Structure 1
Amino acid sequence: MNVEYQVTSFLEDIEGWKFVLNSLPDLIAILNHKYEIIWANTAMAECLNTSPDSCLGVRCFEAIHGTKLPVDNCPHAKMMMDNKGHTEEVYEPNLGGYFMVTAAPIKDKSGNTLGSVHIARDITERKIMEDKIKNSLQEKEMLIRETYHRVKNNLMVISSLLDLQARYIEDIETQNIFRDSQNRARSMALIHEKLYQTTDLKWINFANYIKKLSMELFETYSGQSNNIKINFDLEDHELDTETSIPLGLIVNELISNSLKHAFPDGRNGIIKIKFYKDGGKYVLIISDNGIGFPEDLDYKKSDSLGLRIVNSLVDQIHGEIDMDRTQGTKFTIKFP
C-alpha cells in the first residue's frame, strides 16, 4: 500500500480529520446555529484553559468573551444573517491578544446553513510590529513636517533680509537684483509651505501653487501691474518635490520677466498661464501680449541670470523649452 493511499484512507475517517485539525496552531471550533460549540481543536481549548470536551455545548460568546450575548462584530452572527463567510479582526484579552477570525458556513446537501466553522489566527505579534511601524512613521512624518516648516521660515528670513538690505541701496538696477533674489527665496518658501500643509508630504497641487505664487508676484510688482490682468487655465495635477521646486522657480522667473519688461509705460496687458497633461508629458505655457522678446536676443544663450536659471532648471527636470514671439512672448515647457 503506497503512502498517498494511506494518507487518503486516513483522512476519510473523521478521527483522521480531527488529528489534522488538532495539529494546527490556529484556534478552530465548529458551532451550530445556536452558537453552541459542537467541536473544538486542542489549540482552542488550551487557549480557553480547558479541554476540548469541556467546550462542548457551551455558547461561544460565553466561553470566549464572557458575555451573555454575541459581541457586535461577531462573524458567526453575520454569517447566520446572510449565509456567507465573514472575517473580522478581533481583540480578545481572554484569548491573549489580537486574532483574525473567519466564520465559514456549514451547509447540508440542500444548501441549508447548519452552523459554521471558526478559524482564529493569532496576529498579536504582527499587530505589535504594525503599531511600532505606525508610531515610527508618525515620528518621521512629524520630523519631515518640522523640516519643511523650518526651511520655509529660513527662506522667509532670507527674503526679509534681502528686502531690508535693498532699502539701503539707491541704485535702481541693484535694487531690482535684490528684489529678484527675494522673489526666488519666496517661491521656494511657498513650496515648502504647501508641502507642510499636505497630507502625504511629497506631492502638492501645482495649479494651486501657481495661482498663489502668481498673485504674490503681482503684489510685489504692484506699481507696474495695475493695468495688467492674469488668466489661468490650469488642470489639477499633483507634482512631487523634485519637480515642483525647480518648476516653481521657472514660473517665478518667467512671470517676473513679463511683469518687468512686457508692458512698459503702464500699458495694458494680459499674462496667461496654462498647465495641463498631454499624454506622458506635462505642458506649462506662460505667455503675454506685451511688446515681445527682442529679436536679436537668443533666450537660450542670454546673459540674463533669470533666463540662465530657467534653461538650467528645464534641463534639471528633463524638459524642453520653446519660445514664440509672434504675438508678444510665449514660453512653452514640456516635461515628463
Structure 2
Amino acid sequence: MTEAARVCAECLSVPYSKVCRYREKENDLLIEAGHGWHAGVIGNVVSRADVTSPQGRAFITGKPSICNDLRDDNDLKLPSFYVEHGIVSTIDVIIKGSDDQPYGVLEIDNAQQHDYDQHDIDFLTGFANVLAEAVATSARTGVLQRTIERMKVLVAEKDRLLDQKKVLAEELQHRVRNNLQLVYGMLSKQLDDTPDKAGQRGIRAISRRVSTLAQVYDHLLGSEMTRTTDFGSYLRSLCLNLAEIQAAPDGGVTLTCDSDAIVLDLDVVTALGIVVAEVVTNSYDHAFPGGKKGSIIVSVRRVDGDIATMTISDDGTGFLAKTESKRHGLGLVRRLVEQVRGSATIDSEHGTIWTIKIPVDRIAFAS
C-alpha cells in the first residue's frame, strides 16, 4: 500500500497521498500507508468517519469528494497535520472492501490550490479499485506490482498526448489494449509458475477479467474517443471469444448471443462485460459435469419503461447457493451489478438463469 500511495502521488503530480483504513470499533479512519508525510503521521493520525473531514465525507456518502480549497470550507474539523503540511486541495475516493463495508479511503493532497475535475476522479477511482483488489488478494502482490508499473506508463503517455486529441483517440486505445494483453501474458506466465490449485484459480480469474477489459478496447479501436459504445456488438464479440477459449474438442457445449443494439456508458460496458465472462465461464466449468452436452444463451433486450434486461442461462445441472454466497462468482457478479445500479436474480432449479436489470437512466438505446 505504501508503494501504491507513492505511485498514485507521482502519477497525479502531487506531493502527498494516503490510504486510510476504517476502524469500525473506533468509527474512525486511520492513516495506514502514505507518501510524503512527516514522521509520526502514518500509523498514528486518525480522522473522524463523518462529514467533518474530506475522507470522512467520502466514506459516509460512498461518493468521491473534492475539496479544491480547504480554506473555504468552514464545516471541516481537520487534524493538525493538514496545516503542518500546508494542504489546500484534496480528492478522496472509496476503497472497496470484501463485503458491504468499504475498506477505507484513498486521498491525494496538494499544498497548492488546484481545481480537480471528473478526469482526476475517474483515474483515482480506477486506482482505488486496483488497490481494493490488492487488499483482497494480497498473496498476489508481485503481479499487482507489475500492473501498477504498467498503469504508470500509460498515464505518462496520456499526459504527453493530451494536445493531440485525434491521435490520442487512436493511439491510447491501441496502447491500453496492447498493455492489457501484456499484463494478460504476465499473468499467464505467473500461472505456469504457480503450483498450488487455489493460486491457479485466483490467477485464472484475474486473467479472464483482464482479457475482458482488453476486448473493450478492441471494440473501441477505429472509433472516436467517446464515453459510450454499442454494448450489443461488444457482447457478440465477447461471446465469440469466450466460446473459442472454452470450446471442448467434441463441441458438446454451445454458446449463443442475441442482443439488441444498445448504447451504454463505457463504465457500464466494462462492468457488464466482466459479469458475462464470470457467469458464462462458471457455466462452462460447473454446469455440464462429465462431458454432458448443453447450451449457454446470453440475451440483452430493450424493454418498455425504465429497465433493460440481460439474461444469461444454461440448461445444465443448476446449483444451490445462498444470496450472500461467494461461490460460483456470486459475490463479484452482485458487486458489479450494484456498481451500475442494477439488480440480479438467479433461478437454478432446472439449469441456471441469471436475470440482470439495468436502469435506463444510465443507458441510451441506439436509434
Structure 1 counterpart of 2:346, from 307, 317, 323 = 323
Amino acid at match of 1:193: D
Alpha-carbon distance in structure 2 between the residues aligned to 1:167 and 1:226: 26
Structure 2 counterpart of 1:263, from 282, 285, 288 = 288
Within a 5 Å distance, the mapping from 1:1-336 to structure 2 comes to 139-199=164-224, 201-223=226-248, 226-279=251-304, 280-294=306-320, 297-298=321-322, 300-304=323-327, 306-336=329-359
Structure 1 residue 138, shift from structure 2 partner: 9.0
- SS, match of residue 278 in structure 1: coil
Contact 2:287–2:318 at 8 Å: present in 1 too?
A: yes
- SS, match of residue 318 in structure 2: coil
Structure 1 residue 335, shift from structure 2 partner: 0.5
Contact 2:319–2:349 at 8 Å: present in 1 too?
A: no
The 1:224–1:168 alpha-carbon spacing in structure 2 relative to 1, beyond 3 Å, is farther
Alpha-carbon distance in structure 2 between the residues aligned to 1:172 and 1:137: 44
Structure 1 residue 148, shift from structure 2 partner: 2.3
Amino acid at match of 2:217: H
Contact 1:288–1:328 at 8 Å: present in 2 too?
A: yes
Alpha-carbon distance in structure 2 between the residues aligned to 1:289 and 1:322: 17
Structure 1 residue 176, shift from structure 2 partner: 2.8
Amino acid at match of 1:321: A
- SS, match of residue 308 in structure 2: strand
What residue in structure 2 maps to residue 9 of structure 1?
none
CA RMSD of aligned residues (A): 2.3
Amino acid at match of 1:311: R
Structure 1 residue 142, shift from structure 2 partner: 2.3
Contact 1:183–1:217 at 8 Å: present in 2 too?
A: no
How far does the alpha carbon of each residue in 1:310-333 deviate from its partner, in whole angstroms, 9 at most, with x for none? 111111101011111232000000
- SS, match of residue 204 in structure 1: strand
Alpha-carbon distance in structure 1 between the residues aligned to 2:255 and 2:209: 20
Alpha-carbon distance in structure 2 between the residues aligned to 1:292 and 1:147: 42
Amino acid at match of 1:273: V
The range that moved more, 231-240 or 183-192, is 231-240
Contact 1:195–1:202 at 8 Å: present in 2 too?
A: no
Alpha-carbon distance in structure 1 between the residues aligned to 2:183 and 2:200: 15
Contact 2:235–2:257 at 8 Å: present in 1 too?
A: no
Report how many aligned residue pairs link the two structures. 198
The 1:335–1:265 alpha-carbon spacing in structure 2 relative to 1, beyond 3 Å, is same
The range that moved more, 278-287 or 304-313, is 304-313
What residue in structure 1 maps to residue 117 of structure 2?
none
Alpha-carbon distance in structure 2 between the residues aligned to 1:246 and 1:169: 28
Structure 1 residue 305, shift from structure 2 partner: 7.6
Structure 1 residue 224, shift from structure 2 partner: 8.0
Contact 2:162–2:168 at 8 Å: present in 1 too?
A: no
The 1:305–1:285 alpha-carbon spacing in structure 2 relative to 1, beyond 3 Å, is closer
Alpha-carbon distance in structure 1 between the residues aligned to 2:357 and 2:189: 37
Alpha-carbon distance in structure 2 between the residues aligned to 1:176 and 1:263: 19
Alpha-carbon distance in structure 2 between the residues aligned to 1:217 and 1:331: 18
How far does the alpha carbon of each residue in 1:185-229 deviate from its partner, in whole angstroms, 9 at most, with x for none? 010111122123324533222122112212222232234883101
Matched-pair identity in %? 30
Contact 1:218–1:225 at 8 Å: present in 2 too?
A: no
5+ long unaligned stretches in structure 2: 1-160, 360-367
Given the two structures, how large is their TM-score scaled by the length of structure 2? 0.50
